[in-house]
């Protein structure tokens, strides 16, 4: 269901009307409105877009940090095979890179929230200010 909602939100700019039905849940989601229709629905879609961006940014940062961790542990292991005495560089690399990814994600979310739904930009800008 989550992946279908992701596809719906990605398809919204390209299709004037997108309809998805879920027979098991007895649910029907209509996405994409003509101009001038449903300001409340447009607001809901904007909120969904912001939360989708948050979900994707968190998922991407976790995925990238685990990938970087595995790569840095392989490099650390290869360096230890050459009998060099090194500090555990993998944990240092991961912590700095993970913080950089989180910071970039917050910047990205701040720009999206200002564009999509302005009242949500305040908490994200506050997080951005606290993280710097």
What would the two tokens of residue 67 be? 């990938």
- The reply to whether 102 and 56 lie within a common domain is yes
Residue-wise pLDDT tens digits, 42-63: 566 666 666 666 666 677 767 7
Residue-wise pLDDT tens digits, 75-98: 767 666 655 445 555 566 666 677
- The reply to whether 8 and 69 lie within a common domain is no
- The reply to whether 11 and 60 lie within a common domain is no
- The domain total for the chain is 2
**Is this prediction's pTM over 0.75?**
no
- Domain holding 14, by residue range, is 1-32
SS3 29: strand
What would the two tokens of residue 49 be? 């877009």
Kindly state the average pLDDT of the residues 2-30: 48
- The reply to whether 47 and 108 lie within a common domain is yes
Alpha-helical segments (H) within 1-132: 2-11, 39-81, 89-116, 121-131
- The reply to whether 28 and 43 lie within a common domain is no
- The reply to whether 17 and 63 lie within a common domain is no
- The reply to whether 80 and 43 lie within a common domain is yes
pLDDT at position 114 is: 47
């Amino acid at each position: 269901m989550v992946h279908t909602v992701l596809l719906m939100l990605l398809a919204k700019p390209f299709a004037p009307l997108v309809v998805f039905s879920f027979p098991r849940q007895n649910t029907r989601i209509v996405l994409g409105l003509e101009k001038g229709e449903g300001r409340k629905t447009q607001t809901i879609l904007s909120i969904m877009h912001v939360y989708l961006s948050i979900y994707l940014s968190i998922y991407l940062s976790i995925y990238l940090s685990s990938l970087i961790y595995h790569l840095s542990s392989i490099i650390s292991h290869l360096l230890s095979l050459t009998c060099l005495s090194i500090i555990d560089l993998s944990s240092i690399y991961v912590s700095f890179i993970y913080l950089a990814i989180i910071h970039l994600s917050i910047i990205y979310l701040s720009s999206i929230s200002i564009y999509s739904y302005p009242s949500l930009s305040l908490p994200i800008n506050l997080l951005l200010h606290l993280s710097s």
